[in-house]
Structure 1
Amino acid sequence: MTQFKKGLEEASKFLPNNNHLAINPEDGKWSSETKKGTTRMRIDEDTNMKSSSNGFKGLKNHGRDEDACEEGRANKQTALYTEESELSDLFDKVLLYTENGVGTCFGDESVETGLRKDKQPQRNKRGSSRGKGRGKKQGSKNTVDLGTLLILCAQAISTSDFRTAKELLKQVRENSSPFGDASQRMSHYFANGLEARLAGYNIRTQVFYSALVARTSSAADILKAYHLHISTCPFSQFSIFFANYMIFKFAEKATTLHIIDFGIAFGFQWPNLIQKLSSRPNRPCKLRITGIELPQSGLRPAERIEETGRRLKKYCERFDVPFEFNFIASRNWELIKLVDLKIQSNETVAVNCLDRFKNLLDETVEDNSPRDTVLKLIREVKPDIFVHAVRSGSYNAPFFATRFREALFHLSAIYDMLDATIDHNNKERLVIEREFHGQEIMNVIACEGSERIERPETYKQWQVRHIRAGFKALPLDQEFMKLFRCKMKAWYHKDFELDEDGNWMLQGWRGRIFYGSSCWVPT
């Protein structure tokens, strides 16, 4: 570690002393962030975002032989265009309505049919881990209870019995695999988290954990996994359908619709709504989106959200919807002020958050709960509608052993669901398990205090927070719920369930609630 720090200090000497580390390709001038830790950008209908054919502008190498490189450059451009074309087609296939009126929010019938023909024998099975695993102990007569081993290992760690914990962890490793059945796959990622927590008791903690979470996936990789996810599981699909339906309903007569999206990520939710807005009988209203997201590490903290803005702008140009995009890249959403949201008069304001407030800290870490602070900010906005979808979970206890048990109980059902709906050798399933659930498990187990950002609460706990912040729930549309029940029965595994409670639309699997969606307005 000493040598690493010394090398870092030496390397730092070669960096500029100021923060001007980016160049504006439009004018060649140096640019910088407007505020420390926060980056903002605006893309509107008057901005020219076009670039040269190879994706760069104003960059030349006068020393190269243009004739000798012409063929190679043409081949690179052809490959780039082919990749972009395929990616664009994939985005359209996943995110837009099809010609027969069926799209992401209603399920892509062509995709669904293909998946279900392949998955039907497996999807109808009752046991998710019967003879399908490919773990290291496959075919062994000795059955190992991985859940019990994991709980015993976590208890040993909580009592600082590290020798016993390591022995138990070794047994889990020998019987788990990321390519096995549901129990083996889940145990593999829980073992990763336990190993990282054990490493946290010595000098290797930060190096170990940083290496595990440093991976980032492209929008294309995430989109492919997302495509599989919405085709086999209704949770994200129906949450987006619910949010877009309610927002579109409230913006029926709006001249300007301003959506404030907490946790916009890749913006997969909005192309569908953009297409819907373009179909209004009168002229499409202007769409303003303020995307709020965490910054990335590195020299371009807002790179991903900028890419999201450009992608949404292309969809708006395609469907002739006037568009303006603003973003806020900040690690502390509770520090965002009303003025930062740039709300204008005579516009319909919709606040949207799909399962991202679980990443805010709560009163167990800070006296003034960031969750309550953000809800008060939304109340101050006075939105026409506030759509909130939550992951309903109870593994947010400050005590490690209790939190571990709840996380194991909750996520075992997730892996059971994946095992019952997707083939074991599916590559996109590995992305879902590694990038989504695997990283969540790592954070829940290995991190404490402000470093633990996975803090799900039940929908009933969120309901108390909403009411305390000055909101009242809107009743569910019963025709809408009837449609949902029909679609869930037609498209998805029979063990998925749809219910309602206290103006919340609830989604679950085999009797266990996973997601809740609701709409709120200021009292």
Structure 2
Amino acid sequence: MINNSNSSNSSNSNSDPVRAGLPARPWPGLLPTSKSFGNFGDANCMEQLLVHCANAIQSNDATLAQQILWVLNNIAPPDGDSNQRLTCAFLRALVARAAKTGTCKILATTAARYCYNNNLLPLSTHRFSAIELATFVDLTPWHRFGFTAANAAILDSIEGYSSVHLVDLTSTHCMQIPTLIDAVASRFESPPLIKLTVAAPTDSSLRPPVLDLSYEELGSKLVNFARSRNVAMEFRVIPSTHSDGFSTLIDHLRIHHLLYPEATPPAAEALVINCHMMLHYIEDESTATIASPSPRDAFLKSIRSLEPTVVVVVDEDVELTAGNLVCRLRSAFNYFWIPFDAVDAFLPAAGSKQRQWYEAEVCWRIENVIAQEGMQRVERAEGKARWVQRMRNAAFREAAFGEDCVAEVRGMLGEHAAGWGLKKEEEDQLVLTWKGHNVVFATAWVPA
């Protein structure tokens, strides 16, 4: 269930449907009067209205879609409470879907006016400096949870190796690596050589957060930081992308594996695959042909063939792969309330650039889930249970997180707002929670 705080009555300048460019005739049986908008502020009711709007767009019923839009426009202002901002984000996504697909052409013509009247910023993303991005990802445990759990698993796995080939598949542009370097420097008297390999996207469709820095510049900064901590590091970038299942990266790893086999001293080298909220961008079964295997399963089996020392999988515990728009909308609505609710606990309601960046990223993701289809819909997260099964099918077995790791994660959560929690599932799986609801999971794997 989602956060069901009641919203206050809303009466803005767009409550006149004629001025808003929407139909003026009443909607018998559903359209509320201006005095009764508060009754529609319940999150469950907002979800139902969004579902009705999605169905109207799917069936090309422009009149019904516009009437629901008018209602939602009044009860879900972009500067309202967390439920209202969440609903506003989904409303924008539905309008974008109508404009993109060409259905409900009358509705699509109101999209620009709707955004203008509500003073909504475009969904173009801010380009972060390295320091800004580091601060951004530390706002909540959303990423720090995975960083902390993954680092602990990696440190346990590389004990005794003189060299570590770390493959970082991440959505945060290597923001985990400085914390790992610190941990390596603190733990080992003679730190191993770290060979960091990063897959750089080859397409122009970047998802937020976007780094205002080339990977070469980023690598130089990381190498210099490692040197300051007396850790030797090499950095290489492999042009590769999720759209082809990171095939170029896999080819590079195969060649490297032949040159530096793990079992051959003195060049004993650990191969660490760190997957931080990146695997769900690989195509799933819905985009594969009948004759082809699942691109996700194919990637995992390719990784397994390299006999990695450890594979860490951190991702969001939500199912966003449904082909049916309404099913996807419901699942997304009952997950994305979490960042909107959590942000109220640690950032001011107005005047915060960090808050704008934070919610802009969430809005981008919601729009991708709702408005896009086919190859353009890259937000295809799967729940923990599905990834666990994929890993087992690829001949991996789970590696337990130690008590020191659990204690470190709990200590990290203590630095954030009350509401964040940690639970262990099936002994070897760590799950970040917000008010008891699953948010992000962390698992570690070794060849079976």
Please give the TM-score of this superposition, normalised by the length of structure 2. 0.78
Provide Cα deviations, 1:348-370, integer angstroms capped at 9, x if missing partner: 11100111111111111103211
Letter in 2 for 1:461: R
2:176 to 269, 272, 280: 269
**Residue correspondence of structure 1 range 91-490 to structure 2 within 5 A:** 136=12, 142-143=37-38, 144-145=40-41, 146-202=46-102, 215-220=124-129, 223-224=131-132, 227=135, 230-231=138-139, 233-263=140-170, 265-297=172-204, 304-331=214-241, 332-336=244-248, 338-341=250-253, 342-343=256-257, 344-345=260-261, 346-367=268-289, 368-425=293-350, 426-434=352-360, 436-488=361-413, 490=414
CA contact (8 A) 1:296 1:303 kept: no
User: Post-superposition shift, 1:462?
Assistant: 0.5
1:411–1:253 distance in 2 versus 1, CA, 3 Å:
same
User: Post-superposition shift, 1:302?
Assistant: 12
User: Post-superposition shift, 1:411?
Assistant: 1.0
Q: Secondary structure at the match of 2:421?
A: strand
**Number of residue-to-residue matches in the alignment:** 388
User: Post-superposition shift, 1:334?
Assistant: 4.3
Question: CA separation in 1, counterparts of 2:432 and 2:359?
Answer: 20
Provide Cα deviations, 1:172-193, integer angstroms capped at 9, x if missing partner: 2333333221022112221221
Tell me the equivalent position of 1:28. Answer: none
Point out the more displaced range, 384-393 or 152-161: 152-161
Provide Cα deviations, 1:381-419, integer angstroms capped at 9, x if missing partner: 211111110101022201111111111111123312222
Q: Secondary structure at the match of 2:151?
A: helix
1:412–1:253 distance in 2 versus 1, CA, 3 Å:
same
Tell me the equivalent position of 1:497. Answer: 421
1:225–1:322 distance in 2 versus 1, CA, 3 Å:
closer
Q: Secondary structure at the match of 2:320?
A: coil
User: Post-superposition shift, 1:163?
Assistant: 2.3
Question: CA separation in 1, counterparts of 2:371 and 2:346?
Answer: 29
Point out the more displaced range, 494-503 or 240-249: 494-503
CA contact (8 A) 1:135 1:176 kept: no
Letter in 2 for 1:335: S
Question: CA separation in 1, counterparts of 2:89 and 2:64?
Answer: 20
Question: CA separation in 1, counterparts of 2:442 and 2:6?
Answer: 33
Q: Is 1:507 aligned to residue 432 of structure 2?
A: yes
1:280–1:505 distance in 2 versus 1, CA, 3 Å:
closer
Question: CA separation in 1, counterparts of 2:367 and 2:86?
Answer: 11
Letter in 1 for 2:138: I
Tell me the equivalent position of 2:115. Answer: none
CA contact (8 A) 2:128 2:212 kept: no
Letter in 2 for 1:359: Y
Question: CA separation in 2, counterparts of 1:363 and 1:296?
Answer: 22
Work out which of the two has the higher radius of gyration on C-alpha atoms and give 1 or 2.
Answer: 1
User: Post-superposition shift, 1:167?
Assistant: 2.4
Letter in 1 for 2:341: D
In structure 1, runs of 5+ residues without a counterpart are 1-126
1:229–1:260 distance in 2 versus 1, CA, 3 Å:
closer
User: Post-superposition shift, 1:292?
Assistant: 1.3
Q: Secondary structure at the match of 1:420?
A: coil
Tell me the equivalent position of 2:441. Answer: 516
Question: CA separation in 1, counterparts of 2:240 and 2:408?
Answer: 38
Question: CA separation in 2, counterparts of 1:518 and 1:353?
Answer: 10
User: Post-superposition shift, 1:495?
Assistant: 2.4
Provide Cα deviations, 1:19-51, integer angstroms capped at 9, x if missing partner: xxxxxxxxxxxxxxxxxxxxxxxxxxxxxxxxx
CA contact (8 A) 1:225 1:428 kept: no
User: Post-superposition shift, 1:227?
Assistant: 2.5
User: Post-superposition shift, 1:131?
Assistant: 7.3
Q: Secondary structure at the match of 1:147?
A: helix
In structure 2, runs of 5+ residues without a counterpart are 16-33, 113-120, 206-210, 262-267
Q: Identity percentage over the alignment?
A: 25
Question: CA separation in 1, counterparts of 2:407 and 2:102?
Answer: 55
User: Post-superposition shift, 1:234?
Assistant: 2.1
Q: Secondary structure at the match of 1:499?
A: strand
Letter in 2 for 1:272: T
CA contact (8 A) 1:261 1:292 kept: yes
User: Post-superposition shift, 1:245?
Assistant: 1.5
User: Post-superposition shift, 1:483?
Assistant: 4.3
Q: Secondary structure at the match of 1:284?
A: coil
RMSD: 3.2
Point out the more displaced range, 474-483 or 268-277: 474-483
Q: Secondary structure at the match of 2:378?
A: coil
Letter in 1 for 2:383: T
CA contact (8 A) 2:239 2:248 kept: no
Provide Cα deviations, 1:243-281, integer angstroms capped at 9, x if missing partner: 112112222322111101113642110012122323355
1:450–1:242 distance in 2 versus 1, CA, 3 Å:
same
1:132–1:283 distance in 2 versus 1, CA, 3 Å:
farther
Please give the TM-score of this superposition, normalised by the length of structure 1. 0.67
Question: CA separation in 1, counterparts of 2:36 and 2:174?
Answer: 48
Q: Secondary structure at the match of 2:345?
A: helix
CA contact (8 A) 2:199 2:249 kept: no
Letter in 2 for 1:511: G
Q: Secondary structure at the match of 1:180?
A: coil
Question: CA separation in 2, counterparts of 1:254 and 1:140?
Answer: 69
Provide Cα deviations, 1:442-465, integer angstroms capped at 9, x if missing partner: 100011122111011110010000
CA contact (8 A) 1:154 1:401 kept: yes
Question: CA separation in 1, counterparts of 2:280 and 2:4?
Answer: 28
Provide Cα deviations, 1:464-523, integer angstroms capped at 9, x if missing partner: 0000011000122134324433553x3333322211112110111122111110100011
